[in-house]
Chain A
Amino acid sequence: MSDEEHHFESSDAGASKTYPQQAGNIRKGGYIVIKGRPCKVVEVSTSKTGKHGHAKCHFVAIDIFTSKKLEDIVPSSHNCDVPHVNRTDYQLIDISEDGFVSLLTDNGSTKDDLKLPTDEALLTQLKAGFEEGKDIVVSVMSAMGEEQMCALKEVAPK
């Protein structure tokens, strides 16, 4: 096969979304993948080796996108998947009628594929601020191919 056949797009698609970490090393406040969902750990308890077999870590975690509580029990020597969680700031350009927002990226292009947040309070604040013509910068959290607006701040107009 000649090299011309290989054309790699520079995008996040090829980068790994998770990395493995030993269950015993994941702490409260860290991230973990449970049932395929990226979660933030709120509680860890370890039970020592005993009648139940190998030492185990019991994780209670919150799905970072849906806020659902999930739990898992994993042998502490086992590897778990930890999601890469990124936070990026974008300037808000427009809110479209079909529920998407238009954002300005660092390199000057637009990002139009982000949906409006599901969180009521955030949504109201966003719409209100936009109606009033304020300059808004939104924080977008992304993990495992999913992204969601998690915070916004109003910037004073220059």
Chain B
Amino acid sequence: MEDRVFSSVHSTVFKESESLEGKCDKIEGYDFNQGVNYPKLLRSMLTTGFQASNLGEAIDVVNQMLDWRLADETIVSEECSEEEKNSSYRDSVRCKIFLGFTSNLVSSGVRDTIRYLVQHHMVDVIVTTTGGVEEDLIKCLAPTFKGDFSLPGAYLRSKGLNRIGNLLVPNDNYCKFEDWIIPIFDEMLKEQKEENVLWTPSKLLARLGKEINNESSYLYWAYKMNIPVFCPGLTDGSLGDMLYFHSFRTSGLIIDVVQDIRAMNSEAVHATPRKTGMIILGGGLPKHHICNANMMRNGADYAVFINTGQEFDGSDSGARPDEAVSWGKIRGSAKTVKVYCDATIAFPLLVAETFASKREQTCEPKTIA
């Protein structure tokens, strides 16, 4: 009798498990006995687990974005034009990459990683918030400093220091920005009145990139490389304050958002036969704006989200790629990853293992499809 009870308990506790051998990757971290080898260390993340694995997968997905060519797809002869059947053309058609990021990342050193990508035309469309633009320009006029999260607000206010997390931006930086930008708005208004120029956020940003003329600015490189920078929320930041004040001095400057939504959605709609990929750092407007545009072409083919948002509150910022699939913003067949991590850690490491290492290998400029 006891034997039967014993064997039933035994079989409950030691339930026979399904073998994962061959089906799943084994968990194995980096062995420092190999020495401090950074590329190998980064590659080991894929099998380290948790967010390290997610970052490893994100690196994988981005490399797939970069490696894809139209030549990889089988020709569907009825739908193809003659040009699209040509094999050297098919070898040249690459994935169109949308890069989105929030303004805090531009205040941080990630701005310089972004600048690298834009400088070498490694991304095709940029979407950001107003802060994401002005922080880049202001850094060309005066630097941002490292502070501390715990610095008291009232004390900082009395010293004229603005805190962004553990970064500090002196008020004077914004004064310099004002002195730099107001004359440019004056010129733009003049061009609007005399040459009938109709300004849009992206045109304004191209102009600012031209005017800043500084190689440390990603906006400058976006202008040089003809990469559009979309910022539909242009008034929500210091730049918006400048537009507000400028309207008192000399009113009449018009900035058309309708033209820009045409342009942004067209980037997605007319991407075909290229595949599209989204790399989105942070949440908010840049995340949604890029996903929404891709909805216009029945969904992106690749998506990498790096953010710290959680989905339990139903926010779009915290939503996983699978939620976007339900909207048609990402294809059901797409390769997607969300890395739950502060992008200041994850993004430079990701770029090291994708864009930068590929460039180091090939040392040839990316051809624009």
Q: How many A-B residue pairs have CB under 8 A?
A: 38
Report whether A52 and B160 are in contact in the complex, using a CB–CB cutoff of 8 Å: no
Minimum CB–CB distance from A61 to chain B (whole Å) comes to 13
Are A53 and B248 in contact, CB atoms less than 8 angstroms apart?
no
Contact status A50-B174, CB under 8 Å: yes
Query: Cβ of A128 < 8 Å from any Cβ of B?
Result: no
Interface string of A46-84 (1 = CB under 8 A from B): 000111111010000000000000011110000000000
Nearest residue, chain A, Cβ from B245: A73
Check A52–B241 contact: CB distance below 8 A. yes
Chain B residues in 8 Å Cβ range of A72: 248
Chain A interface, DSSP helix/strand/loop, else mixed = strand
For the complex, what is the distance from the CA of A54 to the CA of B175, rounded to whole Å?
A: 5
Interface residues on A, range: 10 to 19
Question: B134 — nearest CB in chain A belongs to which residue?
Answer: A51
Given the known A-B contacts A72-B248, A73-B248, are A53 and B178 also in contact in the complex, defined by CB atoms under 8 Å? Answer: yes
Q: Given A72-B248, A73-B248: A53 and B162 within 8 A (CB)?
A: no
Indicate if the CB atoms of B160 and A49 lie closer than 8 Å. Answer: yes
Which bracket fits the contact residues of B? 10 to 19
Residues of chain A within 8 A of B238, CB atoms compared:
51-53
**Complex Cα gap A53–B241 (Å):** 8
Expressed in whole angstroms, the Cα–Cα distance for A52 and B248 within the complex equals 14
Chain B nearest CB, measured from A12 CB (Å)? 29
Please report which residues of chain B, range 66-90, place their CB below 8 angstroms from some CB of chain A when the two chains form the complex. none
Q: Are B162 and A52 in contact (CB under 8 A)?
A: no
Contact indicator A56/B245 (Cβ below 8 Å) = yes
Measured in the bound complex, the distance between the Cα atoms of B238 and A72 in whole Å is 19
B305: Cβ under 8 A from any A Cβ: no
Closest to A72 in B: B248
A interface residues with partner B (beta carbon < 8 Å):
49-54, 56, 71-74
A selection of 27 A-B contacts at a CB cut-off of 8 Å is A49-B171, A49-B172, A49-B175, A50-B162, A51-B162, A51-B171, A51-B174, A51-B238, A51-B241, A52-B174, A52-B178, A52-B241, A52-B242, A52-B244, A53-B174, A53-B177, A53-B179, A53-B241, A53-B242, A53-B245, A54-B175, A56-B245, A72-B248, A73-B244, A73-B245, A73-B248, A74-B248
Task: Give the top 10 A-B pairs by smallest Cβ distance, nearest first.
Answer: A53-B178, A52-B241, A73-B248, A49-B171, A51-B238, A54-B175, A53-B174, A53-B175, A51-B174, A72-B248
